[in-house]
Chains A and B, each alone.
Chain A
Amino acid sequence: MIVIVETIARLAGWLLLAPLLPGIINKVKAWVAGRRGPPVLQLYYDLGRLWQRGVVLSSLASPGFIAGPAVAWVAIVGAALLLPLGPAGALLSFRGDALLVIYLLALARFGTAWAAMETGSAFEGMGTAREVSYAVLAEAAIITAMLTLSVHAQSITLVEMLTPASGVGAVLLGAGLFTVLLVENCRVPFDDPNTHLELTMIHEAMILDHSGPPLAAILHGASVKLLLFVVLLTESVVPLGHFSGPVACAVLALGVLTVTVGVGLVESLLARLAFRRVPLLLTTAILLCLFALLVAWKGGAA
Chain B
Amino acid sequence: MSTFTADAFALLANGTSLPWAEIPEWPAAEFVRVTAGELERGGRLCAWFGVPEGAATRLVAVLAFDAGNTLAVGRSEPVTGSYPSLTALCPQAHLFEREVFEQHGLVPEGHPWLKPVRKGAGDAPANGEFFRVEGREVHEVAVGPVHAGIIEPGHFRFQCAGEEVLHLEIALGYQHRGIEAALAGGPHRRTMSQMEVVAGDSTIAHSTAYASICEGLSGVEVPLRTQWLRALALELERLANHTGDIGALAGDVAFLPTSSACGKIRGDFLNLTALLCGNRFGRGWVRPGGHPLDLDAARSATLLKRLHGALADVGQAADWFWEAASVRARFEGVGTVSARQAGELGLVGLAARACGLVRDVRFDHPAGWYRFAQAPVAVWPSGDVYARARVRWLEIQRSGQFLDEQLGLPPDDEPATALGGAQGDALCVSLVEGWRGEVCHVALTDGAGRFRRYKIVDPSFHNWMGLAMALRGQAVSDFPICNKSFNLSYCGFDL
Contacts and interface: CB of A to CB of B under 8 A. Distances in A.
Interface of A: 29, 32-35, 122-123, 125-126, 129, 188-189, 192, 194-200, 267-277
Given A271-B327, A271-B330, A274-B477, 5 more contacts: A35-B260, A126-B141, A189-B254, A200-B477, A274-B330
A192 B254 contact: yes
A188 B254 contact: yes
Interface of B: 139-143, 147-149, 162-163, 250, 252-257, 259-261, 324, 326-327, 329-330, 334, 475-480
Contact of A267 (B253, B256, B329, B478): B256
A196 B148 contact: yes
A268 B257 CA distance: 7
B475 A33 contact: no
A51 B95 CA distance: 49
13 contacts: A33-B260, A34-B260, A122-B142, A196-B147, A197-B148, A199-B479, A267-B256, A272-B253, A272-B326, A273-B326, A274-B477, A275-B477, A276-B163
A189 B326 contact: yes
A267 B260 CA distance: 13
B139 A125 contact: yes
A123 B147 CA distance: 13
Contacts of B260: 33-35
Given A35-B260, A125-B139, A272 B475 contact: no
A201 B140 CA distance: 17
Contacts of A195: 252, 254
Contacts, number: 87
B139 to A, nearest CB: 7
Contacts of A277: 329
Given A34-B260, A122-B139, A271 B476 contact: no
B254 A276 contact: no
B256 A33 contact: yes
A198 B143 contact: yes
Shortest 8 CB-CB distances between A and B: which pairs?
A: A33-B260, A271-B255, A271-B326, A192-B254, A271-B253, A197-B480, A196-B148, A272-B254
Given A33-B260, A125-B139, A274 B334 contact: yes
B254 A274 contact: no
Contacts of A276: 163, 475
Contacts of A123: 141
A248 to B, nearest CB: 35
Contacts of A34: 260-261
B480 A199 contact: yes
Contacts of B139: 122, 125
Contacts of A32: 256-257
A200 B256 contact: no
Residue among B324, B475, B477 with the most chain A CB within 10 A?
Answer: B477
Contacts of A197: 148-149, 252, 480
A194 to B, nearest CB: 7
Residue among A33, A199, A268 with the most chain B CB within 10 A?
Answer: A199
B480 A33 contact: no
A199 B330 contact: no
Given A126-B476, A199-B479, A270-B326, A194 B140 contact: no
Nearest to B328: A271
Contacts of A35: 260
Nearest to B162: A129
A268 B256 CA distance: 5
Residue among A33, A267, A273 with the most chain B CB within 10 A?
Answer: A33
A123 B261 CA distance: 31
B475 to A, nearest CB: 6
Nearest to B260: A33
B254 A271 contact: yes
Nearest to A29: B256
Contacts of B330: 271-274
Nearest to A125: B139
Contacts of A122: 139-142
A272 B142 CA distance: 24
Nearest to A200: B477
B405 to A, nearest CB: 32
B254 A33 contact: no
Nearest to A270: B326
A199 B475 CA distance: 10
Nearest to B321: A271
B376 to A, nearest CB: 30
Contacts of B142: 122
B143 A274 contact: no
Contact of A274 (B148, B261, B324, B478): B478
A92 to B, nearest CB: 39
Given A126-B141, A199-B141, A275 B475 contact: yes
B331 to A, nearest CB: 9
A192 B256 CA distance: 11
Contacts of B479: 199-200
Contacts of B147: 196
B136 to A, nearest CB: 15
A247 B148 CA distance: 47
Contacts of B329: 271, 273-274, 277
Given A270-B326, A271-B324, A276-B475, A200 B480 contact: yes
A35 B147 CA distance: 26
A26 to B, nearest CB: 11
A12 to B, nearest CB: 34
